[in-house]
Amino acid sequence: GENVEQHPSTLSVQEGDSAVIKCTYSDSASNYFPWYKQELGKRPQLIIDIRSNVGEKKDKRIAVTLNKTAKHFSLHITETQPEDSAVYFCASTDSWGKLQFGAGTQVVVTP
Amino acid sequence: DTGVSQDPRHKITKRGQNVTFRCDPISEHNRLYWYRQTLGQGPEFLTYFQNEAQLEKSRLLSDRFSAERPKGSFSTLEIQRTEQGDSAMYLCASSLQQGNTEAFFGQGTRLTVV
């Protein structure tokens, strides 16, 4: 089955700097890679996603890249702000559409 | 509220008791997932449905756990003979079609086994 690994587990950045989170997956049939943000005590919410026919996608300060050959994908947050502090989860779906999550990255943006 | 709803939001139960949680997905979504989340961890896959069909149940899940989606709409997750290790947040999510579209989460049911 699919296995998603996520690094780092914690990330502390100065406000205005960039944050990068990396994930790897094992199932070569995986075709959908969403990223979720979870604030304390709240439900996970989608912030950006990418499908296997695309190598990069950007939405304002957030971008995701996908390398299908290497089976890894990354989340990039530029010009970080205090409200970016949260736990971020990567995920991937296998050929059956089963959604599996990474262990999460705690991002702390310090003023 | 047209989002995913879960009931109850909180449940405290004594060890050995049975508990049942309910999830109402977004109405047009035919995919429904159950996850378990403990502090500091990502959502751990438990099971998922395509309409009323249960497609897979995690091999890590004991026989004390069972889920149903009898009419392809709401779903229930039952835990029999609860143990302290079952204490966690139980999250439900739903999505359209084959699952390669956004999955929307409910607010979860927090279970505490004492």
Mean pLDDT of A31-52: 94
Q: Which ranges of chain B have pLDDT less than 70? A: 1, 98-99
Gap between the Cα atoms of A1 and A32, Å rounded: 15
pLDDT tens-digit map of A43-99 = 999 999 999 888 999 999 999 999 999 999 999 999 999 999 999 999 998 877 888
* Predicted local confidence at residue B60, as pLDDT: 78
In degrees, to the nearest 5, what angle opens at C-alpha B72 toward C-alphas B68 and B78? 15
* Predicted local confidence at residue A106, as pLDDT: 97
What are the chain B neighbours of A34 within 8 Å (beta carbons)?
Answer: 102-103
* Predicted local confidence at residue A2, as pLDDT: 67
Q: Shortest Cα distance from A80 to chain B (angstroms)?
A: 22
Which chain B residues in 72-91 lie under 8 Å from chain A, judged by CB atoms? Answer: 91
pLDDT tens-digit map of B71-97 = 889 999 999 999 999 999 999 999 987
Closest partner residue to B33 (CB to CB) among A51, A89, A99 is: A99
Amino acid, res. A6: Q
* Predicted local confidence at residue A71, as pLDDT: 95
* Predicted local confidence at residue A53, as pLDDT: 85
Scanning every residue of chain A, which has its alpha carbon at the shortest distance from the alpha carbon of B44? A101
CB contact under 8 A, B100 and A98: no
Q: What is the DSSP string of chain B?
A: --S-EEE-SEEEE-TT--EEEEEE--TT--EEEEEEE-TTSPPEEEEEEETTEEEEE-TTS-TTEEEE-TTSS-EEEEE-S--GGG-EEEEEEEESTTS-SPPEE---EEEEE-
What are the chain A neighbours of B48 within 8 Å (beta carbons)?
Answer: 98-99
CB contact under 8 A, B99 and A99: yes
